[in-house]
Chains A and B, each alone.
Chain A
Amino acid sequence: AQSVTQPDIHITVSEGASLELRCNYSYGATPYLFWYVQSPGQGLQLLLKYFSGDTLVQGIKGFEAEFKRSQSSFNLRKPSVHWSDAAEYFCAVYFDRGSTLGRLYFGRGTQLTVWP
């Protein structure tokens, strides 16, 4: 069955520290992969996406993500976290890459807290 997993419900890091948020999917082929960020009470902002090509994807706000086919993972990273990065992060997947982009399946989200 198709699924998206974000193993970490809550992560706390100190400002300036590095960050890695995990995302795994279950699917027989390579899907389209996305990372979105949501601030409290707000909508979702697209950080980055992967469709094909270079497996290391650069996004906005200094984020990057690496697609690893062997691990069915698409982990989000940032070398130095800023206090303003505190938010909820969602990994999302579109499984039917043979058709036009459509409904996304979301992981349960990872809440990031940043200590000063």
Chain B
Amino acid sequence: KAGVTQTPRYLIKTRGQQVTLSCSPISGHRSVSWYQQTPGQGLQFLFEYFSETQRNKGNFPGRFSGRQFSNSRSEMNVSTLELGDSALYLCASSSLGGAGGELFFGEGSRLTVL
């Protein structure tokens, strides 16, 4: 079956703009979580959605937001982009929300903020 699909794969934005990233989970998976990877901070948890509800949130400012649709596809949005938001954004899906679910990752969306 198809894996986790993230779009776009690469994008370049300028400071102050906003960006929306999309993630389609594996068919049948209801949990989608998002992670930010930077050279300095490593992989950090952003938030998790399960059945259209945000279940958990990491320590990121309110500029980072997300949502999940009824078909389990998820989007994350970053408003008022800063240089430090340049990162690889990874999405993962799981059949189980919260504890106990094996995660499967997409190929990521690489964001560059100029």
Please determine whether chains A and B interact with each other in the same assembly.
Answer: no
B contact set with A: CB distance below 8 Å: none
